[in-house]
Amino acid sequence: MNHDFYDLDFERGIAAFSFIDRKAEVRLNLGLVTKPPKAIQALCEKYHNVMIGIESAGIDQERMDQICNSMKLECTNNSVDVLIAKGNRPFASSWYVVGDIPRLLVMAENGTMKAPFTEMVHEQIWRAHQVLSDTNKQR
């Protein structure tokens, strides 16, 4: 298995929350991951199966790839318990984030890491993450 690419999808194929960061030119989709690969199943369960999908809403794909790879490196260097991976479907351009999303957001807010989205959407991500975590805990 190539650990840089995973076949990830949202529960029922639909994100629970979706919004566009016009300044960063990305669409963010948040939802619960369904049927994660065994290699990352424990990580997904530990963090309540919440996943962020990031796709272009105008940003150049090469630039988005650079930012996501940089975010991945910063998380690795700071021992953040996340998986940041590009989708492996044909012609896929989406990136996925599962794991300790709250810590990732704190790093982005503190300027420790450059995220592919701006501070304007942090509050929306926090709220969506909390709703999804609470929903998954009740199952």
pLDDT tens, 40-74? Answer: 899 999 999 999 999 999 999 999 999 999 999 99
What is the reported pLDDT for 16? 86
User: How many domains does the chain divide into?
Assistant: 1
pLDDT at residue 12 tops 60: no
Measured distance CA(64)–CA(76) in Å, rounded: 18
Helix (H, G, I), strand (E, B) or coil at 108: helix
**pLDDT at res. 14:** 65
Residue 53 lies in a domain: yes
Please report whether residue 110 resides in a domain: yes
Residue 26 structural domain: 5-134
Inside any domain, residue 46: yes
Residue 37 has pLDDT above 50, yes or no: yes
Report the relative pairing of strands 26-32 and 82-87 from DSSP bridges: unpaired
Domain presence at residue 139: no
Residue 15 domain-assigned (yes or no): yes
d(CA 27, CA 19): 6
Q: What is the DSSP letter of 139?
A: -
Q: Would you say residue 115 lies in a domain? A: yes
Kindly report the length of the chain. Answer: 139
* E strand or H helix that includes residue 83: strand 82-87
Q: Is residue 65 part of a domain?
A: yes
Alpha-carbon gap, residue 98 to 36, rounded angstroms: 10
Residue where the block lists tokens 């919004």: 19
Q: Is the pLDDT of residue 92 over 90?
A: no
Q: pLDDT at position 1, please? A: 31
48 assigned to some structural domain: yes
For residues 31-39, give the mean pLDDT.
Answer: 85
CA angle 69/3/80 to nearest 5° reads: 55
